[in-house]
Structures are given as structure tokens and as C-alpha cells.
Amino acid sequence: MMNLLDIKTPAWDQREAFKSDFGLENHGLTNLHGVYWNLPTEALYEEIIFRREGRISLMGPIVLKSGKHTSRAAQDKFIVREATTEDHVWWGEYNRPLAADKFDEIYARLSGFLQGRDVFVQDCYVGADPDYRLPVRIISEYAWHSLFARNMFIKPATHEEYRMHVPDFTVLCVPSFKAFGPIDSTRTSTFIILNFAQRIAIIGDTAYGGEIKKSVFTLMNYLMPLEGVLSMHCSANVGADGEVALFFGLSGTGKTTLSADPTRGLIGDDEHGWSDNGIFNFEDGCYAKVIRLSPTAEPQIYAATHRFGTVLENVIYDPVTRLIDLDDDTITENTRASYPLTFIENAIPEKRAGHPSHIVFLTCDAQGVMPPIARLTPDQALYHFISGYTSKIAGTEAGIGAEPEITFSTCFGAPFMVHHPMVYADLLKRKILRYGVTCWLINTGWTGGPYGVGKRISIQHTRALLKAALSGDLSAVEYRIDPIFGFEVPQTCPGVPDEVLRPAEGWPSPEVYWQRYRELAARFIDNFVRFAADCPPEVLAAGPKREGIAQPR
């Protein structure tokens, strides 16, 4: 905000109470009007309301709009190409190169743009494992982005810790600043640019909160594998006996919903590392998709959307009654809630646990042909991890229409993976074999027909299947070998009708079912061609078979 009248805002007198000795001049930011250092939630609420960035809804959540971008602008993300880091980057669709001199020019203009303006700072950490914890700094133009960062990342515990905080990486988010493509070599006026050498990310012309979160995740995906730690786009929880489960999947596949199980402790809902110490959360908050959230199927997340401190992004509310409407998709299907992990009653305070016993790959199959659950061999697990099959759900990424789209997102998070996929796959396989992990594929998509014909698989059935898998109840049942993919599908499961486990029987025409299944398998094979040269032969052989596609049983 450009405060031309020099008005004292609500937190003006407290803006430097938690100031770090490592000032913003170290980032080349000078002549700022006011720097609001590490304000607590209550003070940020006052600043958000004062600056008319959002409104308070019933029971306290802050409601706001992110503007023209209501999802990630994946095509506008760049990584600075320079000598010290370029050999580690898998350049391509999601890791687009930007010249170092172009970054310097944009950053210089951005620094000049901020002169005379207010900014907000949150000094925090990413990584719950003390051996791999990274100090980060989020500098934002908007107060609500500072609250978002405070919700999502790990906060220092003391005043002295704030004072001594020196960031290893900084995110500078200025939504009102625009790039000029012909000069800056950007695709549009929107940009998300990461510079690993200078340890900084800059974001412009988008206010979508997820860009801040995913920029930090992308950083961890670059740094952690260099230290032998597998960085993962997954949720994680732990049973009463200490048995850890990981849930891989893209947005809309159920990572947050399925991991928020009241009978299990929640480690985290989206981003984790797997070191020799075990599993640890990168974050201290949740960023849940909340469109049509059910108070019965997802009670803990639903409760979090009605608490003071939660940021509701693009959620519709009644300005008179202040009631929110989680069923209204007028702005976007990708309505979001950012809230501290502590809002989930069974969250694990340490945000870390031991090595996993189970890995679950979640796919939202809009074709309606994948079985609701399948057990995978380690090589099959690697094949599906590298493939990352799912259907993109409307709203989670710019450009997605009303109907789901088939996608193969490598490592179940291709837009955030920096190294070649085989780097992550190799780390995963070594850990699966070392710790004897059982791997599962769960379909949370459609059954009885494709999208528009069939129906979404019941969340109750998915929960029952998952419970049986994690408890060991599926160890004693009979399995059939899928004729196309070769994985094992249980014949029965407690609490689930047998016909649910046989998706072909739910289609009006079994012949049409098998034809669609063969078509999907062919898509897997065609997608995997680009990895074949770098992939071990046993993993390549673990995919669907051409002969299986031609002659299903």
C-alpha cells in the first residue's frame, strides 16, 4: 500500500516489536514507508480490515479474494539459469529458464516500485526436522499474505529467536507489480521466478496464496535431494501404534481429506521430507480445498473453516449475516482455507514421526475404469510414482475447464519438482526397499462410467478400503491380478460391497468399460516413453502390457 497521507495504521506503533537484526536493506529494499515485522494474527486481522483487503465472517475467519488469479499460474513460473545450479535442474515444461540478467532487471524495478510503500514480513522456518530446518522470510505487499505465511510455516518460539533470524531463502510477493513480457522475457505480466543462487523468489501480478506456499516447496524439492532427503508432495498421518502412512496425490484427489482421520494423528497435509530420521512436515499449516466441504465426511476441516485465524480464499459469504457458503463456486471451484495445523485436533505437535509402513498413491480417475484399490509391488509403485496419473479438477490450475482432464504429473507434483524425476524415484525406491513399505493405489475418482455418466466413488467406501489396508485387514483376503496393469486387486473388503471392487460390473456395457480401460493403459505407455531411456528395465516392465491391452480377461 502506498500511504501518501502518512496515516498511522492499527499496528503502526508495534510494527518493529519483533524486528530481526537482519534488515530488509540486506535484500536491496530501501526507502520503504513502513515495515511490519512478524505481526501476530490479531494485529494482522486489524491491518487486513483497515486496508480493506478482506472481511471477517461469522465465528472469525477472514474472507478475501485473490483477484484475477484464483489458482496457480503454472505456465508463468521460471527458474533462473546460472552456472552454479543449472546442472541440477530438469529444464522443460515446468522449469522454464530465465536469464540471470533478466532476473536482476526485474528485481531492480521491483525494489524501486516498493519505495515509499508498506510491506509485511514474516520470519519463519520450513522443515520440522531440526537437522533439515531452513529459515525463510516472506515479504509481502498485502497483510493477508503475511497471515497466510504465519499460518503455513513454522514460527520462531521467542522474541530473541525473531531478533536473531537470518533467512536462507526469501519470498517477495508484490501482486500490484507487473512484468513487461517483451522486455522481461516473461510470458505475461504475471511471474513466479526462483533464483536458487541468490536464494530468493519473486512473485508479481498474482495474489493467489498458493504461489507463496509452492515457491517454498519448490525450493525444498531442490535442496533436500542434494542432502539425500526425499521431498514429497504428500500428506502423512500415524496410527496409535506408531505406524506411518503417506498419501501422494495432486489437488482434488483427497490427500487432505483422507489424512485428516480422527483415529490417526496428523503429521501434515501436503509437503513432507523423508530422511534417515523418518518423516517430517515442511509446514505448520494446512491449505485445504473447501468447495462443497461436508461437515459429516470432513468434520475437522469443516470446523477449521469456522475459526478465527483461518484465511478463506475466494469463498463466498453473505455480507449481512457473514455466513459463508462453501457450496458456492461463483468465483472459482478452487476455494481454499489456510489454517494452522493445530486447528486439527489430532495433529502431532512435533510434525514428524518414524519411517512409513504404507504408501498410498491417490488418483482421481475421471475415466471411471481404475479399481478403487490395488496393491503394488515396489517396481509397480515406482512406475505409478513416475507416471503420476490423475485427472485435473477444475480450478486448481489456470486453464482447466469444467470437465476433469487426464494428466500425468510426474512424482505426483511435476510443477514443483526441480531435479530429473529419476532423482526422486531412485530415493523413493531405496527407501521402500530399506523399510519394507507396502504400497497401494487408491482411486478416488469415478465408478460406473466416466465423468458425466458414472458417479464419484463414495468417500465412505474409500475410507473403509483405506482403513482395511492400513490395519492389515486386506492381508488375509484373496486378490485377483488385474489383466492390464498387473497389480493385485482385493476380491473382498470389510465394509465395502464386493461389486465396488469390480468396476467393470458397474458399467452398462462391459465391452465399453474394457475399451476405455485399454485406452487409458495406452495413455500410460505413451506418457512413459519419455522416461524409458533413464528408467531401470524392471520398473519399465512393471507398467501395463501391450498384450494385456489387446487381450483383456
Among 69, 81, 233, 420, the active-site one is 233
d(CA 463, CA 360): 12
Is 438 noted as a catalytic residue in this protein? no
Phi, psi for residue 525 in degrees, rounded to 5: -65, -45
Compute the distance between CA of residue 205 and CA of residue 188 in angstroms, rounded to an integer.
9
Longest dimension (CA), the chain: 76
Q: In what order do the strands lie in the sheet with 62-64?
A: 54-56, 62-64, 311-313, 336-340, 285-289
Catalytic residue among 15, 19, 72, 306: 72
- Give the whole-angstrom CA distance, residue 432 versus residue 42: 44
Q: Which of 336, 384, 419, 420 is catalytic?
A: 336
* 163 sits in which H/E element: helix 159-163
Strands (E) across 282-325 are located at 285-289, 311-313, 316-317, 324-325
Amino acid at 242: G
> Catalytic residue at 68?
no
**Continuous segment of H or E residues that includes residue 247:** strand 244-248
Catalytic residue among 165, 255, 384, 429: 255
- Strand-strand pairing, 316-317 and 389-392: unpaired
Query: Minimal CA–CA distance to 412: which of 376, 384, 442?
Result: 384
Q: How far apart are CA 255 and CA 246, in angstroms?
A: 9
Angle between helices 421-435 and 378-387 (to 10 degrees): 150
Q: In whole angstroms, how far apart are CA 274 and each of 108, 232, 443?
A: 38, 8, 24
Catalytic annotation, pick one of 251, 259, 332, 335: 251
State yes or no: is 379 an active-site residue. Answer: no
Burial 344-362 (b: 16+ CB within 10 A, else e): beebbeebbbebbbbbbbb
Q: Find the catalytic residue in 261, 270, 379, 482.
A: 270
**DSSP 8-state class, residue 249:** -
Identified catalytic residue from 235, 256, 259, 305:
256
Confirm whether 96 is a catalytic residue. no
What length is written for the chain? 553
Phi-psi region of 523 (alpha: psi -120 to 50; beta: other; left: phi over 0): alpha
Residue 256 bears catalytic tag:
yes
Q: Is 319 exposed, middle or buried (0-12, 13-18, 19+ CB in 10 A)?
A: exposed
Grid coordinates given for 173: 510477493
Q: Where are the beta strands (DSSP E) in 154-207?
A: 169-174, 191-195, 200-204
Respond yes or no: is residue 190 known to be catalytic: no
Active-site residue flag, 255: yes
Cα distances (angstroms) measured from residue 253 to each of 20, 443, 497: 40, 8, 22
* Residue 458 annotated as catalytic: no
Set of cell numbers at residue 237? 498421518
Q: Which of 69, 214, 392, 461 is catalytic?
A: 214
**Distance in angstroms (rounded) separating the CA atoms of residues 193 and 59:** 37
Per DSSP, the three-state class of 223 is helix
Known catalytic residues are 72, 214, 233, 251, 255-256, 270, 336
